[in-house]
């Protein structure tokens, strides 16, 4: 036993716990001037002399873009505009701060832990207001020392050397008992990203054996889901929901599990439960809107999409597609005025980007068509076509809206071209193809539509099928050529991407390592996952990729 009567300023310590506060660059984000200055004073008393101040999220973003910071102390409530959590999400999502940067949230809410549990990203720590300078110093020191211990992990992570990052986590787990749980947590996420769900499963079981903390059980459920052990995953999730109902991520994952077994009704229910606990998260509302729309539940879809825009007013996760989604549901409900009002209200936001302008033009066209103003509709369609010709992209739903508007304005060839593009990229998405068919049915051109869809999907389907047949015959080289051509034709088609990845891996299995090809395979797999997150085949392909990598010693790159 040892006794310590304190009065030992951190700056006076030596060895690996020494922290040079005078070298730290700090940013204080706080809307209330009195508090802002008090916080600055607290930092100065710690020896942090390089302190910048920001009164709101916009100022903070501006400052962070000017120069890097080591420490950001941010109030959760920032008045109008983004709150502290949204600022954190934007900083991390846009890679404006690295893992080394300490982000601490200051909050008046004693239950901020619950806010953290419902958030997509957690800060490094949070301080409940009012707090004493001693607490701030201790917490900051503790995080800085932890980040120092994790420096190898972070370095590999930033360099995309994930296997090496795993190895560095293992070193920490072995040598630094204080950080064992943090290192296990980080390693678990790395294993999932690397497509090594069996190892992740074992790791989370190891944490649960220490204590069944909610994040570990959630990780276990995710690892099980990635191995298509969905029944076991669901059992774990139901248990988490009972013990820690505030852990909203459990509902998100449950909805993925339900989608995997094609139960869209249950997926919607899970998300609705999640939204009932925390309506704040934009992505959950987006997903709920999409699934409710697929389920034909327009009321739920509408309220979810409306919430996306309302709650996500300042969120980095809101895109122009979200405005298009809301307007589409409004029009499907026959609420033309509502759609027009949505456009009018968000005009400034939409006009700020070409993608937004495309949404605006397409939706405007649809509104005018419904109102019978064909002249104005034609003008809007003209504008949309010009934006497209300039390379502006839209999601599949918006493109089909655009095709519909083209047809209504008599621009059939252009409509066919757009539908063909959507169909190539979604040649096996029944939901999208059905929507496309309905467009033609409504326009009285069912036969023409069938032909467009048949031709568009035929090319891709043909290349795809030829590739698959060749692969089954063992001619992986030619199969790779065919499928990469199919990928070029349909650059956003996850199914084709996954097939291409599969034949590339088979080819390497057979012919030996081809560094360039495995890199292409990796990129295609990432793209497929972006297009179809949580698709049942992704996990298997990740595993295959991993096996190929270890078979040919890619992991040798990692330091011993």
- Interface positions with another protein (CB under 8 A): 1-7, 34-35, 38, 41, 108, 110-111, 113-114, 117, 128-135, 137-139, 142, 177-178, 180-182, 210-211, 213, 215, 244, 246
Residue placing its CB nearer to another protein in the complex, 189 or 475: 189
CA-wise closest residue to 443 among 490, 418, 411, 467? 411
Element (H, E) at 189: helix 180-193
Residue placing its CB nearer to another protein in the complex, 169 or 384: 169
Residue placing its CB nearer to another protein in the complex, 17 or 510: 17
CA-wise closest residue to 293 among 366, 365, 401? 401
Residue placing its CB nearer to another protein in the complex, 247 or 326: 247
* The Cα angle at residue 285 between residues 280 and 289, in degrees rounded to 5: 160
Gyration radius of the chain over CA positions: 26
Whole-number Å distance between alpha carbons of 230 and 245: 20
Report in angstroms how near the CB of residue 13 gets to another protein at its nearest.
12
Residue placing its CB nearer to another protein in the complex, 157 or 215: 215
Residue placing its CB nearer to another protein in the complex, 2 or 516: 2
Residue placing its CB nearer to another protein in the complex, 110 or 348: 110
| CA quadruple 345, 346, 347, 349: dihedral sign | positive
Whole-number Å distance between alpha carbons of 382 and 392: 14
The answer to whether 201 and 220 have CB atoms below 8 angstroms apart is yes
Instruction: Count CA atoms within 13 Å of residue 479 on its CB side.
Output: 24
Q: Residue 52: beta bridge partners?
A: 27
CA-wise closest residue to 22 among 4, 31, 9? 9
Number of neighbouring beta carbons within 10 Å of residue 4 = 6
Report in angstroms how near the CB of residue 40 gets to another protein at its nearest.
12
Report in angstroms how near the CB of residue 249 gets to another protein at its nearest.
14
CA-wise closest residue to 356 among 329, 335, 387? 387
Give, to the nearest 10 degrees, the angle between helix 264-277 and helix 298-311.
40
CA-wise closest residue to 329 among 346, 306, 310? 306
Report in angstroms how near the CB of residue 174 gets to another protein at its nearest.
13
Residue placing its CB nearer to another protein in the complex, 26 or 525: 26
């Amino acid at each position: 036993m040892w006794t310590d009567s304190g009065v030992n300023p951190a700056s006076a310590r030596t060895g690996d716990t020494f922290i040079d506060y005078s070298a730290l660059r700090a940013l204080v984000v706080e809307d209330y001037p009195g508090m802002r200055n008090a916080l600055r004073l607290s930092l100065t008393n710690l020896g942090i002399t390089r302190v910048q101040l920001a009164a709101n999220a916009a100022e903070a973003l501006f400052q962070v873009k000017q120069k890097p910071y080591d420490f950001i102390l941010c109030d959760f409530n920032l008045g109008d505009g983004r709150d502290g959590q949204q600022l954190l999400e934007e900083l991390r999502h846009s890679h404006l701060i690295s893992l080394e940067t300490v982000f601490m949230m200051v909050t008046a809410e004693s239950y901020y832990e619950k806010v953290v549990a419902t958030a997509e990203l957690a800060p490094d720590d949070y301080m409940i207001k009012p707090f004493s300078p001693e607490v701030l110093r201790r917490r900051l020191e503790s995080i800085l020392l932890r980040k120092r211990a994790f420096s190898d992990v972070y370095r590999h992570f930033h360099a995309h050397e994930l296997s090496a990052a795993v190895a560095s986590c293992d070193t920490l787990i072995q040598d630094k008992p204080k950080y064992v749980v943090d290192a296990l947590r980080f390693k678990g996420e790395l294993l999932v990203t690397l497509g090594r769900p069996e190892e992740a499963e074992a790791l989370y079981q190891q944490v649960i054996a220490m204590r069944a903390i909610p994040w570990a059980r959630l990780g276990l459920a995710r690892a099980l889901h990635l191995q298509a052990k969905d029944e076991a995953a669901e059992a774990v999730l139901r248990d988490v929901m009972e013990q820690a109902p505030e852990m909203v991520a459990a509902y998100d994952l449950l909805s993925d599990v339900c989608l995997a077994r094609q139960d869209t009704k249950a997926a919607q229910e899970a998300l609705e439960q999640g939204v009932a606990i925390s309506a704040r998260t934009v992505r959950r509302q987006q997903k709920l809107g999409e699934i409710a729309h697929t389920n034909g539940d327009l009321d739920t879809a509408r309220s979810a999409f409306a919430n996306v825009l309302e709650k996500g007013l300042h969120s980095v996760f809101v895109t122009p597609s979200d405005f298009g989604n809301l307007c589409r549901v409004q029009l499907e409900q026959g609420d033309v005025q509502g759609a027009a009002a949505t456009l009018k209200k968000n005009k400034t936001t939409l006009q700020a980007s070409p993608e937004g302008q495309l949404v605006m033009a397409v939706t405007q066209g649809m509104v005018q068509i419904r109102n019978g103003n064909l002249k104005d509709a034609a003008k809007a369609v003209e504008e949309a076509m010009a934006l497209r010709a300039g390379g502006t992209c839209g999601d599949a739903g918006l493109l089909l809206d655009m095709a519909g508007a083209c047809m209504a304005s008599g621009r059939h060839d252009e409509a066919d071209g757009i539908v063909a593009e959507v169909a190539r990229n979604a040649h096996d998405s029944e939901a999208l193809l059905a929507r496309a068919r309905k467009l033609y049915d409504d326009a009285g051109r069912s036969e023409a539509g069938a032909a467009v869809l048949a031709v568009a999907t035929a090319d891709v389907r043909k290349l795809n099928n030829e590739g698959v047949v060749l692969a089954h015959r063992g001619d992986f080289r030619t199969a790779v050529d065919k499928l990469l051509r199919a990928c070029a034709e349909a650059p956003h088609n996850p199914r084709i991407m996954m097939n291409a990845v599969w034949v590339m891996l088979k080819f390497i299995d057979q012919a030996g390592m081809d560094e360039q090809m495995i890199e292409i395979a990796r990129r295609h797999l990432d793209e497929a996952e972006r297009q179809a997150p949580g698709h049942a085949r992704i996990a298997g392909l990740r595993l295959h990729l991993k096996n190929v990598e270890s078979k040919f010693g890619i992991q040798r790159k990692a330091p011993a």
